[in-house]
Structure 1
Amino acid sequence: MEEVNRRRFLKHATVATAGVSLAAGCLGDDEDDGAEAEAEDDFPTDNITIVIPFGEGGGTDDFARTVAGAADDHLDVSIQFENEPGAGGLNGTQDVVQAEPDGYTLVAFNPPSTPTSWLVQQPPYEIGDLEGVATVGRFPYIIYANTDYEIEDFGDLIDRYEDGEFSQIAGQGVGTMVDVVARTLRDDVGLPWEDYIAYDGGGEVTEAVMSDEVSVGIGTDSGALAGAEEGRLEPIACIPDGGSAVFPDLESIAEQGYAEEGDPIDTLAMLQPSYWAPPGTPSEHIDVIAEALEQATEDEGVQEWAEDTGNVVEYSGPDEASQTLADVLETVPDVVDLDAVREEAES
Structure 2
Amino acid sequence: MRKVNRRRFLKQSGVATVGMAALAGCTGDDGNGDDAGAGGNGNGNGADDGNGDAGVDYPTQSITMTIPFGEGGGTDTFARTVGRAAADFLDEPIEMQNESGAGGLIGTQQVFRQEPDGYNMVAFNPPSTPMSWFIQQPDFEIGDLEAVCTIGRFPYIITANSDYEVEGFGDLVDRFEDGEFSQIAGQGSGTLVDVVARVLRDEVGLAWNDYIAYEGGGEVTQAIMGDEVSVGIGTDSGALSGVEEERMDPIAIIPSGGSAVFPDTETIAEQGFADEGDNIDLLAMLQPSWYMPPGTPMEVREIVSEAAREGIDTDEVQQFGEDSGNVVEHSGPEEAQEILDEVLETIPEVVDIDELREDA
Alignment TM-score, normalising by the size of structure 1:
0.89
CA distance 1:342–1:35, shift in 2 (3 Å): closer
Partner of 2:274: 259
- d(CA) in 2 for partners of 1:120, 1:29: 44
Give the CA RMSD over aligned residues.
1.4
Of 279, 282, 288, 2:294 maps to: 279
The reply to whether residue 33 of structure 1 matches residue 35 of structure 2 is yes
Shift of 1:158: 0.8
The reply to whether residue 152 of structure 1 matches residue 154 of structure 2 is no
The reply to whether residue 168 of structure 1 matches residue 183 of structure 2 is yes
Letter in 2 for 1:236: I
Letter in 1 for 2:196: V
Letter in 2 for 1:314: E
Shift of 1:69: 1.7
The reply to whether residue 99 of structure 1 matches residue 114 of structure 2 is yes
Partner of 2:243: 228
Partner of 1:5: none
The reply to whether residue 135 of structure 1 matches residue 150 of structure 2 is yes
Shift of 1:30: 4.7
Pairwise mapping of residues 106-255 of structure 1 onto structure 2 (< 5 A)?
A: 106-255=121-270
Q: Equivalent residue of 1:237, what SS?
A: strand
The C-alpha deviation readout for 1:215-239, integer Å capped at 9, x for no partner, is 1110000000011000011000000
The C-alpha deviation readout for 1:10-46, integer Å capped at 9, x for no partner, is xxxxxxxxxxxxxxxxxx9957634358276220010
Shift of 1:327: 0.4
- d(CA) in 2 for partners of 1:224, 1:192: 22
Instruction: Indicate if the aligned counterparts of 2:37 and 2:57 stay in contact, CA closer than 8 A.
Output: no
- d(CA) in 1 for partners of 2:253, 2:117: 39
Shift of 1:311: 0.3
The reply to whether residue 338 of structure 1 matches residue 340 of structure 2 is no
Q: Equivalent residue of 2:232, what SS?
A: strand
Instruction: Indicate if the aligned counterparts of 2:135 and 2:190 stay in contact, CA closer than 8 A.
Output: yes
- d(CA) in 1 for partners of 2:59, 2:287: 26
Letter in 2 for 1:150: E
Q: Which runs of 5+ in 2 are unaligned?
A: 1-29, 41-45, 48-54
- d(CA) in 2 for partners of 1:343, 1:167: 22
- d(CA) in 1 for partners of 2:183, 2:269: 23
Q: Equivalent residue of 2:37, what SS?
A: helix
Q: Equivalent residue of 1:35, what SS?
A: coil
Q: Equivalent residue of 1:187, what SS?
A: helix
- d(CA) in 1 for partners of 2:135, 2:345: 13
Partner of 1:64: 79
Letter in 1 for 2:202: D
- d(CA) in 1 for partners of 2:130, 2:308: 22
Partner of 1:7: none
The C-alpha deviation readout for 1:196-229, integer Å capped at 9, x for no partner, is 1101100000000000001111000000001100
Letter in 2 for 1:200: E
Letter in 2 for 1:291: E
CA distance 1:76–1:261, shift in 2 (3 Å): same
Instruction: Indicate if the aligned counterparts of 2:154 and 2:286 stay in contact, CA closer than 8 A.
Output: yes
Pairwise mapping of residues 258-337 of structure 1 onto structure 2 (< 5 A)?
A: 258-337=273-352
- d(CA) in 1 for partners of 2:356, 2:266: 28
Q: Is 87-96 or 115-124 further displaced after alignment?
A: 115-124
- d(CA) in 2 for partners of 1:86, 1:212: 23
CA distance 1:72–1:260, shift in 2 (3 Å): same
- d(CA) in 2 for partners of 1:68, 1:268: 26
- d(CA) in 2 for partners of 1:213, 1:153: 21
- d(CA) in 1 for partners of 2:267, 2:37: 57
- d(CA) in 2 for partners of 1:240, 1:331: 17
CA distance 1:29–1:154, shift in 2 (3 Å): closer
Letter in 1 for 2:131: T
CA distance 1:29–1:115, shift in 2 (3 Å): closer
Shift of 1:284: 1.3
